């Protein structure tokens, strides 16, 4: 299986704080990786840096995507290359409606496709509202996945898909992620994901190939995501401090 | 029968007394610089307008084909070049120049200069002393039209002072939409547009008034607007300025005189180049259960200076309610925005007046969010800017809404 993403010795700062300290990571096309870790460990910083948000300053290291060094590429360029992100708490953009924005993503084409996806994600009534304006937690998640399904990235970063979503809607979110990854039809060998999860509920709906724990800015272990989750449930993260 | 000479002479005397009176706000303009007088001939149809004028009118919301208009009034410089009333509306609607209306109706003494004081400042005085027409639109009681009336005031020459006096009367129970486009068809012209507008909305009447201004770098504008709304009447006013202007200062005032009268002002302002923009709206709540709302969306780019004002003045002892909402984006380090809301409760112990005002940059977080979906930085800023200015104004005819959105989009792109 070919490599899709490779991260070499990534050191990252957010303001004055060193948030990642030499992370090495790689994943192949079509794989789904789960990231676990306590609050403030650097999980969100990691995916934000992969997407190219300039607040997350790369002090050292390289990011390769599809064999290309993207470390200096801006967000828009990385998105064009095939990266996408679902935010945990996306900003509100008043006046820019979900319909208008998704049409912009598609350069004014594919209006029927937009309606179809919106219907599937139960978002038809939200199309003419400002982005995330007055959206509930579940609506935000569905709106994020809706935008990504329109964008169709090859590699998607999903930050806590379960947070703020009731149990009933987690299934819908899980289905949307599978659809986004092309796993609801014949498996799409290309598309991959890095998913941050605290609770692990999403593992009931999305099959993951590998799991990692980020602890204090470093990747401390990798393995079967369900095994890692059950370890975390039994012992919390306190063993990570020893383990690393 | 025409308005009486004695009445006019009294008005003229007041105007003469205010000839040198500086306006309370805005830079003072030397009116003597703009003394060029231009008369134009009539045209048979709007498509007969010279190309530049036709384009300027179209950009200001004017439908030159008139397919979706109940009537049109077009003035170029100092001449009325075109008036037309859809045949189906004869006896329901009147469109003519104010000069003609003053000749025709003596009862205009009850309206002429009653909503705006003729001696307010040198500009109102100029509009009276050197009046060069303006439109008179009146809809008769209980009439409603399928389409709006359009009025266009164009300036096509240098050193002109276009001094119009517009009047709109919405009689009892009637409903009227008016689209006014004021524009310069000679983009480098230096000059001034002085526009007095008096609106009267009678009992239960509704007036939807939309004004689009497209001026240019060397042009001054001094509108003076007053409106009186009677019982259960409503004024819905939308103002759009998206092109540069040398200076503009206006503070339209609506007097909600009758019980349950209401008014809403929307303003969409985009400051470009070194435009000096001082625009507000004032709602005076005089009747019981009157309601007012004033919304402004303001962007200051380049070296523009924008004053966004709003006054809510409650004068009734009975319940009334009004709200001001002004939001600004400063998109240039050389630009300036002043948001100046003012709430006055004058013995109005039951009045509920409120305001919110904010000024900030285009949020980088929003730009990056849009970029993360594969949209370029330029497109992201453009779409956020357009979205900020789009007020989604209710009751606005669809074509005009589309037109405003297109102008906003083009302006946002242009200004990048």
| Contact yes or no for B177/B397 (Cβ under 8 A) | yes
Give the Cα separation of B164 and A84 in Å (integer). 56
Contacts with A74 from chain B: Cβ below 8 Å: 371, 377
How much is the average pLDDT of B203-223?
95
Are B377 and A96 within 8 A, CB to CB?
Answer: no
Pick from B96-105, B356-365, B380-389 the range whose average pLDDT is largest: B96-105
> In this prediction, what percent of chain B has a pLDDT beyond 70?
95
How many CB atoms are located within 10 Å of the residue B4 CB? 11
Tell me the percentage of chain B whose pLDDT exceeds 90.
Answer: 77
Out of A79, A91, A130, name the one closest to residue B373 (CB). A79
User: Using one digit for the tens of pLDDT, what is the confidence trace for B46-90?
Assistant: 988 899 889 888 888 888 999 889 999 999 999 999 999 998 899
Position with higher pLDDT, B385 vs B165: B165
A184 interface with B at CB cutoff 8 Å = no
Pick from A93, A104, A148: which is nearest to B369 by CB? A93
End-to-end CA distance of chain A: 29
d(CA A76, CA B380): 10
Q: Which of the 8 DSSP states describes residue A107? A: T
CB neighbour class for B50 (10 Å; exposed up to 12, middle 13-18, buried from 19): middle
Residues of chain A in contact with residue B383, where contact means CB-CB under 8 angstroms, are: 96, 100-101, 104
Mean pLDDT of B29-51: 90
pLDDT digits (tens, 9 = 90+) for B168-182: 999 999 999 999 999
Rg (CA), chain A: 18
What confidence score (pLDDT) does residue B390 get?
A: 75
Rounded Cα–Cα distance for residues B106 and B4 (Å):
7
Query: Which residue from B minimizes the CA distance to A55?
Result: B365
Handedness of CA A39, A40, A46, A48 (dihedral sign): positive
Q: Between chain A and chain B, how many beta carbons pairs sit less than 8 Å apart?
A: 67
Mean pLDDT of B183-207: 94
Prediction pTM value: 0.82
Nearest to B363 among A91, A104, A130 (CB): A91
* Number of residues that this document lists for chain A: 244
Report the CATH number that the domain containing residue A213 is assigned in CATH. Answer: 3.40.50.300
Task: Select the residue from B369, B377, B393 to test the A interface by mutation, using most A Cβ atoms within 10 A.
Answer: B369
pLDDT at A239: 74
Distance CA A106, CA A152 (A): 10
Distance between CA atoms of B389 and B191, rounded to whole angstroms? 28
Q: Which two tokens stand for residue B182?
A: 């004021």
- Compute φ and ψ for A28, nearest 5 degrees: -95, 165
CA atoms of A10 and A58, how far apart (whole Å): 7
- Residues in chain A predicted with pLDDT less than 50, given as ranges, are none
Chain B interface with A: residues with Cβ < 8 Å: 363, 365-366, 368-377, 379-380, 383-384, 386-390
| DSSP E strand boundaries for A129-168 | 130-131, 155-159
Residues spanned by the domain of A175: 3-243
ipTM above threshold 0.90: yes
For β-strands B175-184 and B219-229, DSSP reports them as unpaired
- A109/B contact by beta carbon, under 8 A: no
Q: Which of B313, B320, B317 is nearest to B345 (CA)?
A: B313
- Determine the residue of chain A that is closest to B382 in CA distance: A96
Q: Identify the pLDDT of residue B191.
A: 95
Please state, for a pLDDT cut of 90, what percent of chain A lies above it.
71
Q: Give the angle B54-B56-B58 at the CA atoms, nearest 5°.
A: 70
The total domain count for chain A is 1
Chain A hits for B387, Cβ within 8 Å: 93-97, 100, 130
Question: CA dihedral defined by B121, B123, B129, B130, rounded to 10 degrees?
Answer: 170
Q: Number of C-alpha atoms within 13 angstroms, CB side, residue A73?
A: 22
How far apart (Å, rounded) are the C-alpha atoms in residues B265 and B262?
10
Interchain proximity A100–B369, CB inside 8 Å: no
- Which pLDDT value is given to residue B85? 94
Give B338: exposed, middle or buried? Use CB within 10 Å, 0-12, 13-18, 19+: middle
CA angle B52, B54, B60 (to 5 degrees): 105
Q: Band the pLDDT of B395: cuts 50, 70, 90.
A: low
Q: How far is A168 from chain B (nearest CA, A)?
A: 27
Between the CA of residue B321 and those of B241, B283, B286, B312, B316, what are the distances in Å?
Answer: 28, 11, 11, 9, 11
Residue showing tokens 């409650």 = B314
pLDDT value at position A163? 86
Mean pLDDT of chain B: 92
Contact list in B for residue A47 (CB cut-off 8 A) is none
Express each pLDDT in B339-365 by its tens digit: 999 999 999 999 999 999 999 888 899
Strand bridging mode A3-14 / A130-131: unpaired
pLDDT for residue B372 is more than 70: yes
As a whole number, mean pLDDT of residues B285-314 equals 96
How buried is B389 (Cβ within 10 angstroms: 0-12 exposed, 13-18 middle, 19+ buried)? buried
pLDDT value of position B37:
85
Judged by CB atoms closer than 8 Å, whether chains meet at B372 and A85 is answered as yes
Q: Do A93 and B366 touch (CB under 8 A)?
A: yes
Q: What is the pLDDT of residue A112?
A: 85
pLDDT confidence band for B114 (50 / 70 / 90): very high
Cα separation, A153 vs B392, in Å, equals 32
Instruction: Fill in the DSSP letter of residue A135.
Output: -
Label residue B136 by pLDDT band (50, 70, 90).
very high
Is pLDDT at B250 greater than 70 in this prediction?
yes
Angle between helices B364-371 and B377-389 (to 10 degrees): 120
Among candidate residues B289, B353, B346, B349, the one with its CA nearest the CA of residue B325: B353
């Amino acid at each position: 299986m070919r490599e899709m993403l490779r991260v070499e010795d990534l050191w990252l700062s957010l303001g004055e704080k060193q948030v990642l300290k030499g992370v090495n990571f790689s994943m192949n096309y079509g794989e789904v990786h789960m990231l676990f870790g306590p609050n403030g460990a650097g999980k969100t910083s990691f995916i934000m840096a992969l997407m190219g948000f300039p607040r997350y300053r790369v002090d050292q290291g390289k990011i390769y995507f599809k064999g290309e060094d993207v470390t200096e590429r801006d967000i828009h360029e990385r998105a064009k290359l095939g990266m996408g992100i679902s935010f945990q708490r996306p900003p509100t953009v008043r006046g820019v409606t979900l319909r208008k924005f998704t049409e912009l993503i598609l350069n004014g084409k594919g209006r029927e496709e937009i309606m179809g996806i919106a219907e599937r994600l139960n978002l038809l009534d939200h199309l003419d509202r400002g982005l995330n304006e007055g959206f509930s937690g579940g609506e935000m998640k569905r709106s994020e996945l809706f935008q990504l399904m329109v964008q169709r990235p090859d590699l998607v970063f999903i930050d806590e898909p379960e947070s703020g979503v009731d149990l009933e809607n987690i299934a819908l979110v899980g289905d949307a992620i599978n659809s986004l990854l092309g796993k609801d039809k014949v498996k799409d060998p290309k598309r991959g994901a890095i998913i941050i999860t605290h609770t692990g509920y999403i593992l009931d709906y999305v099959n993951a190939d590998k799991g990692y724990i980020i602890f204090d800015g470093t990747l401390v272990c990798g393995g079967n995501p369900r095994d890692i989750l059950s370890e975390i449930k039994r012992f919390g993260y306190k063993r990570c401090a020893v383990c690393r | 029968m025409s308005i009486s000479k004695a009445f006019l002479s009294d008005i003229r005397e007041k105007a003469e007394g205010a000839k040198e009176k500086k306006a309370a706000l805005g830079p003072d303009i030397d009116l003597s610089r703009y003394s060029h007088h231009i008369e134009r001939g009539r045209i048979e149809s709007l498509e007969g307008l010279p190309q530049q004028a036709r384009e300027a009118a179209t950009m200001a919301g004017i439908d030159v084909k008139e397919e979706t208009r109940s009537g049109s009034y077009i003035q170029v410089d100092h001449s009325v070049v075109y008036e037309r009333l859809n045949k189906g509306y004869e006896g329901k609607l009147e469109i003519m120049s104010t000069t003609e209306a003053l000749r025709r109706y003596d009862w205009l003494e009850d309206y002429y200069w009653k909503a705006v004081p003729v001696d307010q400042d040198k500009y109102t005085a100029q509009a009276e002393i050197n009046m060069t027409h303006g439109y008179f639109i009146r809809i008769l009681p209980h009439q409603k039209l399928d389409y709006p009336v359009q009025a266009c005031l164009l300036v096509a020459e240098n050193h002109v002072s276009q001094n119009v006096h517009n009047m709109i009367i919405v009689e009892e129970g009637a409903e009227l939409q008016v689209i006014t486009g004021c524009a310069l068809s000679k983009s480098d012209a230096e000059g001034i547009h002085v526009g007095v507008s008096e609106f009267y909305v009678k009992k239960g009447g509704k007036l939807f008034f939309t004004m689009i201004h497209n001026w240019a770098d060397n042009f001054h504008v001094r509108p003076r607007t007053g409106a009186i709304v009677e019982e259960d009447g409503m004024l819905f006013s939308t103002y759009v300025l998206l092109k540069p202007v040398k200076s503009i200062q206006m503070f339209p005032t609506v007097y909600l005189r009758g019980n349950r009268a209401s008014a809403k002002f929307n303003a969409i302002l985009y400051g470009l180049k070194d435009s000096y923009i001082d625009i507000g709206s004032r709602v005076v709540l005089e009747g019981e259960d009157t309601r007012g709302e004033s919304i402004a969306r303001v962007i200051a780019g380049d070296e523009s200076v924008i004053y966004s004002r709003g006054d809510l003045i409650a004068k009734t002892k009975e319940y009334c309610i009004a709200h001001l909402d002004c939001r600004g984006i400063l998109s240039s380090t050389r630009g300036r925005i002043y948001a100046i809301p003012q709430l006055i409760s004058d013995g109005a112990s039951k009045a509920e007046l409120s305001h919110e005002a904010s000024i900030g940059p285009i949020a980088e977080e929003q730009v990056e969010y849009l970029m993360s979906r594969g949209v370029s930085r330029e497109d992201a800023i453009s779409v956020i800017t357009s979205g900020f200015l789009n007020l989604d104004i209710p009751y606005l005819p669809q074509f005009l809404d589309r037109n405003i959105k297109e102008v906003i989009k083009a302006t946002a792109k242009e200004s990048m």
